[in-house]
Amino acid sequence: MKTQQKTPQENRQTAQEKHDIRPGQSLELLKELHILTRDGKMNQDSRRKLKQVYHLYQFIEPLLQDVLAAHSDVSLIDHGAGKSYLGFILYDLFFKTLPGNSHIYGIETRDELVQKSRELAARLAFPRMSFLNLSVADSIQSKELPEQIDVVTALHACNTATDDAIEFALKKQAKHIVLVPCCQAEVAAVLKKNKAKDLASPLTEIWRHPLHTREFGSQVTNVLRCLQLEAHGYQVTVTELVGWEHSMKNELIVATYKNLPKKRSSERLEEVLSTLGLGEMRGRFFSPQVMADLAATE
């Protein structure tokens, strides 16, 4: 008995059902990102990667909708984009059907990844994607980017790159900021350096041992980031990014500008820096007044 061959549409539907691929998702994109093999198969690692990106999309999509409710276009910057998995998925699921000039920008320091992303965007006919070979810090002053950006993401941008992304978002007046911090070492280094002179305080027992210095430094870094965002009028939510099972860096910070009262958070930010002997880090974790003072000297 002759077996009836499936149509391309039926094959697509089968692949989507088998791998829980979202309706409308480009299978060609998933193949280019090596989430699907050329024959439409998926291994455990790529299935986990797709699940991770989709899970993050669930957090970001409402933010994009919020921007569109206010005006017709939406702009998004992805800092430390890497291979731009997130950017391409966002474009495929959300941006490609939008009219107007909505745009995604990927910022990445590795030129070979920037070039590959540009080539992939061209092959898939994703015209409103741009990729720039810049550090996060350099992107703050780059003339290649718009004066204002609606949504800023920074996923696993190592150490101070996350703080640079926050500074970028503040200067670009971003409505929404999405951060998955990674490799916070700078605060721990300052705690370690000042440990000897601060040992008179019982609080230093929290970071007396090297392992505790590292872990406490990481925790304090994210606390300072949240206070800094709140000091600039943002409403901040901190949660676990459930689904990123392979990573210990599982903290998700989402900030939305609400023009909230800033005074108390600014005072608390200053108090934490002073209490923990981190005064020298005021240039990285700053209140609006510090930001205004810095702008005045530029």
| Bridge partners, residue 131, by sequence | 106
Rounded average pLDDT over 185-207: 80
**Percent of residues, the chain, with pLDDT higher than 70:** 86
CA-based torsion, 244, 167, 82, 213: positive or negative? negative
Q: Answer yes or no: is pLDDT of 255 > 60.
A: yes
Please list the residues that pair with 1 across neighbouring strands: none
What is the structure's pLDDT at 244? 46
Strands 251-257 and 234-240: antiparallel
pLDDT at 19: 57
Name the average pLDDT for the chain.
Answer: 87
Q: What is the pLDDT of residue 250?
A: 79
pLDDT band at 40 (very low <50, low <70, confident <90, very high): confident
The CA distance from 246 to 282, in Å, is 33
Which SS3 state, helix, strand or coil, does residue 221 take? helix
| Coil, strand or helix at 192 | helix
Q: 3-class SS at 77?
A: strand
Query: What is the pLDDT at residue 159?
Result: 73
Residue 181 neighbours by CB under 8 Å, 6+ apart: 156, 157, 162, 221, 222, 225, 249, 251, 253
How far is 84 from 90, CA to CA, in rounded Å? Answer: 10
Structural domain spans, the chain:
11-183, 186-234+263-298
Closest Cα partner for 102 from 90, 114, 120? 90
- pLDDT of 200 reads 67
Residue 172 has pLDDT above 50, yes or no: yes
Cα distance between residue 153 and residue 135, in whole Å: 14
Single out the residue of 287, 279, 159 nearest to residue 234, CA to CA: 287
Whether residue 173 has pLDDT greater than 60? yes
Report the pLDDT averaged over residues 233-249. 74
For 57-86, the pLDDT digits (tens) are: 999 999 999 999 999 999 999 999 999 989
Identify the pLDDT of residue 49: 79
Residue 285 pLDDT > 80: yes
pLDDT of residue 9: 55
- Check whether 3 has a pLDDT greater than 70: no
At residue 65, what is the residue type? Q
What element of type H or E holds 271? helix 263-275
For residue 62, report the phi and psi dihedrals to the nearest 5 degrees: -60, -30
Section 148-161 average pLDDT? 89
- End-to-end C-alpha distance for the chain, whole angstroms: 79
| Cα–Cα distance for residue pair 239/234, rounded to 1 Å | 16
DSSP 173: T
Share of the chain above pLDDT 90, in %: 56
What pLDDT is attached to residue 246?
46
Mean pLDDT (whole number) for 142-170: 92
CATH topology of domain 11-183: Rossmann fold (3.40.50)
36: pLDDT confidence band, cut at 50, 70 and 90?
confident
Q: Are strands 251-257 and 176-182 parallel, antiparallel or unpaired?
A: antiparallel
pLDDT of amino acid 293: 63
Residue 61 confidence (pLDDT) = 97
Label residue 248 by pLDDT band (50, 70, 90): low
pLDDT band at 8 (very low <50, low <70, confident <90, very high): low
Is residue 196 predicted with pLDDT exceeding 60? yes
Rounded Cα–Cα distance for residues 156 and 294 (Å): 27
Burial of 80 (0-12, 13-18, 19+ CB in 10 A): buried
This prediction has a pTM of: 0.88
Determine contact, residues 91/25, Cβ cutoff 8 Å: no
Q: What is the pLDDT of residue 203?
A: 82
Q: In 3-state terms, what secondary structure has residue 238?
A: strand
The residue among 159 and 226 whose pLDDT is bigger is: 226
